[in-house]
Chains A and B, each alone.
Chain A
């Protein structure tokens, strides 16, 4: 997706492939149709989520190390209620 002079270029570009995200969404039970707007929003939300999770993990190491490990992510999941949906789903 080409950047355009008007508007925030970052807002127009997506880092994640929408086709893959669509596949994942369709694998969810009972999903029938996915509107184009919703595909865009889920893609963008996922990008924001990845960055949010990364920054939360960073807080776990700040001042102590310069290396984010699995345990830091595990700690973030344990201590954030809104991340309950991730509990028990980790695979590494």
Chain B
């Protein structure tokens, strides 16, 4: 499947938001600089992916994992990113667990409701039976 050129670029708005967060207020960023930053980010992704993939292959794996990325950053002299990245990974996993627990809880509540609903139905049916017997007598 051929990729369109824009598919290999990041959305400009998202890039600019990150740039603005990093800079104090009042600093303007020229158009060419903006484009260059977005482009540099794409190149960085390819660079980091290539380094990470090489590490995966070295370990006889076909899947790039988180440790590959962390090791690649250290090799590329971006150690300063490793701390924040580990925090982000922890927060992400925690969020995932919370979501999973919440889903499990919703599922068990649903099960409980289903059981109590069918119990209520049984009670109603029993009442109907009793009413019939009463009317017959």
Contacts and interface: CB of A to CB of B under 8 A. Distances in A.
Interface of A is mostly: helix
Contacts of A12: 88, 91-92, 95
Contact of B30 (A16, A55, A68, A89): A68
Contacts of A70: 30, 32-33, 36
- Of all A-B residue pairs in the complex, the 7 with the closest CB atoms, nearest first, are A37-B66, A51-B22, A33-B63, A11-B91, A70-B32, A82-B77, A32-B62
Interface residues of A, number: 59
Which bracket fits the contact residues of B?
35 or more
Interface string B1-37: 0010001101100110111011110111110110111
12 contacts: A12-B91, A27-B8, A38-B66, A41-B66, A42-B48, A45-B48, A45-B73, A50-B37, A67-B27, A69-B30, A70-B33, A92-B36
Contacts of A37: 65-66, 69, 89
B27 to A, nearest CB: 6
B49 A42 contact: yes
Contacts of B27: 58, 61, 66-68
B8 A69 contact: no
Interface of B: 3, 7-8, 10-11, 14-15, 17-19, 21-24, 26-30, 32-33, 35-37, 39-50, 52-53, 57, 62-66, 68-70, 73, 76-78, 80-81, 84-85, 87-92, 94-95, 98
Interface string A31-74: 11111011011101111111111110110010000111110111
A8 B33 CA distance: 31
B85 A68 contact: no
B37 A53 contact: yes
Contacts of A15: 14, 17-18
Contacts of A16: 10-11, 14-15, 18
B33 A72 contact: yes
Interface in A16-38: 16-17, 20-21, 23-25, 27-35, 37-38
